[in-house]
Protein backbone atom coordinates (compact mmCIF):
# COMPACT_ATOMS: atom_id res chain seq x y z
CA UNK A 1 0.00 0.00 0.00
CA UNK A 2 1.29 3.44 -0.87
CA UNK A 3 0.04 6.72 0.51
CA UNK A 4 1.03 10.36 0.08
CA UNK A 5 0.04 13.37 2.18
CA UNK A 6 1.39 16.73 3.33
CA UNK A 7 2.26 17.58 6.92
CA UNK A 8 3.46 21.20 7.22
CA UNK A 9 4.95 20.42 10.66
CA UNK A 10 7.62 18.29 8.94
CA UNK A 11 8.94 20.96 6.55
CA UNK A 12 12.71 21.20 6.75
CA UNK A 13 13.82 23.15 3.67
CA UNK A 14 15.22 26.09 5.63
CA UNK A 15 17.08 23.91 8.15
CA UNK A 16 18.56 21.06 6.11
CA UNK A 17 19.83 21.13 2.52
CA UNK A 18 19.15 17.54 1.41
CA UNK A 19 16.45 16.60 -1.10
CA UNK A 20 14.60 13.98 0.94
CA UNK A 21 14.83 12.21 4.26
CA UNK A 22 14.26 8.45 4.19
CA UNK A 23 13.29 7.18 7.63
CA UNK A 24 12.70 3.82 9.26
CA UNK A 25 12.60 2.21 12.68
CA UNK A 26 10.66 3.71 15.58
CA UNK A 27 9.88 6.96 13.76
CA UNK A 28 6.36 5.66 13.01
CA UNK A 29 5.37 6.20 16.64
CA UNK A 30 6.54 9.82 16.53
CA UNK A 31 4.69 11.20 13.48
CA UNK A 32 1.06 11.32 12.42
CA UNK A 33 -0.04 8.57 9.98
CA UNK A 34 -3.56 8.58 8.49
CA UNK A 35 -5.88 5.78 9.56
CA UNK A 36 -6.71 4.11 6.23
CA UNK A 37 -9.88 2.10 5.72
CA UNK A 38 -10.23 -0.36 2.82
CA UNK A 39 -13.73 -1.57 1.86
CA UNK A 40 -14.14 -5.34 1.46
CA UNK A 41 -10.65 -6.20 2.66
CA UNK A 42 -9.97 -9.91 3.07
CA UNK A 43 -7.35 -9.63 5.82
CA UNK A 44 -6.36 -6.87 8.19
CA UNK A 45 -2.90 -8.23 9.02
CA UNK A 46 -0.07 -5.96 7.93
CA UNK A 47 3.37 -6.10 9.50
CA UNK A 48 4.25 -2.75 11.06
CA UNK A 49 7.99 -3.27 10.53
CA UNK A 50 8.02 -3.40 6.72
CA UNK A 51 7.63 0.17 5.53
CA UNK A 52 9.43 3.07 3.91
CA UNK A 53 8.82 6.66 4.94
CA UNK A 54 10.21 9.49 2.83
CA UNK A 55 9.86 13.15 3.83
CA UNK A 56 10.37 15.90 1.25
CA UNK A 57 11.58 19.41 2.15
CA UNK A 58 8.07 20.85 1.65
CA UNK A 59 6.48 18.39 4.13
CA UNK A 60 5.25 15.85 1.58
CA UNK A 61 5.20 12.33 3.05
CA UNK A 62 5.51 9.23 0.86
CA UNK A 63 4.65 6.11 2.83
CA UNK A 64 4.96 2.60 1.44
CA UNK A 65 4.04 -0.55 3.34
CA UNK A 66 4.33 -4.18 2.28
Strand partners, 23: 53
Residue 44 is predicted with a pLDDT of 64
Return the exposure string of 39-56: e unless at least 16 CB atoms fall within 10 Å of the residue's CB, then b: eeeeeeeeeeeebebebb
pTM over 0.85: no
Kindly state the percentage of the chain with pLDDT values over 90: 20
C-alpha 20/C-alpha 28 separation (Å) is 17
Residue 49 is predicted with a pLDDT of 66
**pLDDT of residue 60 exceeding 90:** yes
Amino acid sequence: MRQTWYDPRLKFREYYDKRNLTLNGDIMQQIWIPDTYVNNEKSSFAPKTEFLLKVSPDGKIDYSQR
